[in-house]
A = this chain, B = another copy of it.
Amino acid sequence: MVGGKWKLLILRQLYGGPLRLSALRSTIPDISEKMLIQELKILVENRLVHRENFGEVPPRVAYSLTDRGELVKPLIEEMIAFAERYERT
């Protein structure tokens, strides 16, 4: 559910609140638009991320963490902590 190259990075960006697709794209520099949309779709299917469509033109869509998505925060933090422990060893 959080595997693959991008999902954890996306979830981390959503820590601070809702973001639009374009904002996500610019904070995760190396991701392609297709991958971003594709991964977001999976995250939405797994109900870790909420997608809000404002039905405007030009389109406006915002992504945010669901309650379930919030549950992943300690995991991300532990991953960062592990990386730090590992590098010191």
Contacts of A82 in B (CB 8 A): 71-72, 74-75
Q: Is the interface of A mostly helix, strand, loop or mixed?
A: helix
Number of A interface residues at 8 Å Cβ cutoff, please give it.
15
A78 at interface by CB-CB < 8 Å: yes
Contacts of A79 in B (CB 8 A): 75
Distance to closest chain B CB from A70 (angstroms): 9
A54 at interface by CB-CB < 8 Å: no
Contacts of A1 in B (CB 8 A): 86
Query: What residue in chain B is nearest A3 (Cβ atoms)?
Result: B3
Residues on A facing B (Cβ under 8 Å)? 1, 3, 67-68, 71-72, 74-75, 78-79, 81-82, 85-86, 89
